[in-house]
Amino acid sequence: MSKPNVKIAVSFFGRLGPGLLLAATSIGASHLVMSPQAGCLFGFQLLWLVLFTHLFKYHAFEFGPRYAAATGESLIAGYARMPGPKGWALWILLFVTVAQGIGVLAGVVAIAAAVLSTFIGHEPFTGFYVILVIGTVLLFLVLGGYNWLDFLNKIMMTVLFLATIVVFVPAFPDPAEFKYFVIPSVPAGSIAVITGILGWMPTGIDVSIWHSLWTLEKHRELTSDVTLEGRWKIFRLSLMDMRAGYILSFIVASVFLMLAAVYLHGTPDKIDGAEFARSLAKIYTNNIGYWMYFVFMVAAFTAMYSTVYTVMDGFSRSFAEMASTLFPKLRAKWRMKLYWIFVIFTSAFAILILLVFKGKNPVTLVLDVAFLSLCFAPLYYGLNYYCVTRLIKEEKFRPGTTARLVALAGIVIVLFATFVCAAYKFDLLK
């Protein structure tokens, strides 16, 4: 590659940030657990669900950077201006943020610790790995905040993507199997997996709030007197960045499902329990060579570690911003303190949960947390839609007619899916 091309590539990579953080949050439990579990249990039959969730949830996530770039404020500021009782949306979401902040962090840490314990192999899945994962993430947050988050995430995403492609190429399935991307199917016994994928693929819609906050952190000039032309340039870059991360999420989710469908479907191996990663590793070692075991484990832990990192940062940013928006007097003195209070609070409770329930299947824990995310997805989606269609002043920054129709369809579909999955979960439907 010539020097000019190298400079262009480096410049482009440097501009990326929040979109890859979205991918890092996405490419974790949903991709490493739910996608392979779907492929292992049902072959290629649930491929349509990967496309379905990415397609109809797209605008829910895109509205985050769109609103931030167009207005110079986060979605949280938009939620504060919802019609009705003052601050009602923020009060609800503040409660949801606390509940999810603990539950989601516990879930992703459990998966990261399970991968690490399987990789090292010297001890069973214990609190040691849980504390190690959380402790090192806390250290990185203290040392560098967003800049470290941005830098490390780009390295982790590159490692994961390259390792995944290296393994997938020799395992490329029969092209006839790609029909399942567009042929919906609900195999018997698949509702639990479908619920998890709907709730957490590509990730919880609340991450759109984080994305708006990350966009403002990446482009700090948005909060100052930036010109309309400058704002438009950042807007275009933010959407390109977001779409790059979103496409990456879709590719990796599809690849993991197909790998499991090719190599694990119909075998005794299962994507379940604390050693689920060992079943996934067999795909690599049995078909390419034992050396790929190390590549996979590094890639798998990379995916989960980056997810823990972004989850810890994202929920804490959201909590601090919501609290300081509800109580403006807290903003100047307490905003950053609220961030660290929430980081410590959720970390401590996540450790406590995983130590008390250390015998609990981490895959089951993730599926339960994913269902919780699904329950609140329609609310987040609806609020985001209102923000970008009613609160953005310049028409050119608002979504077009097609985007609005797809978004409305997405809200209806997610709401319907929530009721159906809840009915199955509580045995109201058989």
Question: Coil, strand, or helix at residue 399?
Answer: coil
Quote the tokens at residue 303. Answer: 């995916």
pTM here is: 0.86
- Output the pLDDT for position 155: 72
What CA–CA distance (Å, rounded) separates 307 from 166? 22
Lowest mean pLDDT among 10-14, 19-23, 87-91, 137-141: 10-14
What CA–CA distance (Å, rounded) separates 420 from 410? 15
pLDDT classification of 174: cutoffs 50, 70, 90:
confident
What CA–CA distance (Å, rounded) separates 148 from 304? 17
Quote the tokens at residue 286. Answer: 């049995």
What CA–CA distance (Å, rounded) separates 81 from 251? 37
Instruction: Yes or no: say if 211 and 22 are a contact pair by the CB < 8 Å rule.
Output: yes
User: DSSP secondary-structure letter at 226?
Assistant: -
> What would the 3-class secondary structure string for 234-302 be?
HHHHHHHHHHHHHHHHHHHHHHHHHHHHHHCCCCCCCCCCCCHHHHHHHHHHHHCCCHHHHHHHHHHHH
- Output the pLDDT for position 360: 66
Question: How much is the average pLDDT of 290-298?
Answer: 75
Question: What one-letter code names the amino acid at 227?
Answer: T
Domain ranges of the chain: 16-102+145-277+359-425
Residue with tokens 């496409």: 247
Q: Phi-psi region for residue 73, left (φ > 0), alpha (ψ -120 to 50) or beta? A: beta
Q: Which residues contact 308 (CB under 8 A, 6 or more apart)?
A: 28, 105, 108, 109, 112, 133, 134, 137
What CA–CA distance (Å, rounded) separates 319 from 101? 9
Structure confidence by residue, pLDDT tens digits, 253-280: 998 899 888 888 887 777 765 566 777 7
Quote the tokens at residue 11. Answer: 């410049």
Tell me how many degrees the CA angle 101-106-107 measures, rounded to the nearest 5: 105
Structure confidence by residue, pLDDT tens digits, 315-336: 999 999 999 999 988 877 788 8
Residue 389 scores a pLDDT above 90: yes
What CA–CA distance (Å, rounded) separates 370 from 34? 10
- Output the pLDDT for position 8: 37
| Beta-carbon count within 10 A of 267 CB | 11
H helices present in 27-87, as ranges: 29, 35-42, 47-71, 75-79
Look at residues 325, 76, 72, 336 and name the one whose alpha carbon lies nearest to residue 221. Answer: 72
Instruction: Classify each residue of 299-331 as buried b or exposed e, where b means 16 or more C-beta atoms within 10 Å of its C-beta.
Output: bbbbbbbbbbbbbbbbbbbbbbbbbbbeeeeee
The radius of gyration computed from the CA coordinates of the chain, to the nearest angstrom, equals 21
What interhelical angle do 276-287 and 228-263 show, nearest 10? 80
Instruction: Yes or no: say if 31 and 251 are a contact pair by the CB < 8 Å rule.
Output: no
Lowest mean pLDDT among 39-43, 345-349, 423-427: 423-427
Quote the tokens at residue 214. Answer: 């990350």
Quote the tokens at residue 195. Answer: 């619920």
User: DSSP secondary-structure letter at 266?
Assistant: T
Structure confidence by residue, pLDDT tens digits, 23-34: 666 676 677 788
Residue 9 scores a pLDDT above 70: no
- Output the pLDDT for position 4: 45
For all residues of the chain together, what is the average pLDDT?
Answer: 83
- Output the pLDDT for position 125: 55
What CA–CA distance (Å, rounded) separates 403 from 407? 6
- Output the pLDDT for position 422: 86
Length of the chain: 430
Instruction: Yes or no: say if 406 and 363 are a contact pair by the CB < 8 Å rule.
Output: no
**20 against 342, higher pLDDT:** 342
pLDDT classification of 355: cutoffs 50, 70, 90:
confident
How much of the chain, in percent, has pLDDT values that exceed 90?
A: 34
Residue with tokens 């018997």: 188
N-to-C CA span, the chain: 58
Instruction: Classify each residue of 16-25 as buried b or exposed e, where b means 16 or more C-beta atoms within 10 Å of its C-beta.
Output: bbbbbbbbbb
Look at residues 63, 35, 412 and name the one whose alpha carbon lies nearest to residue 255. Answer: 35
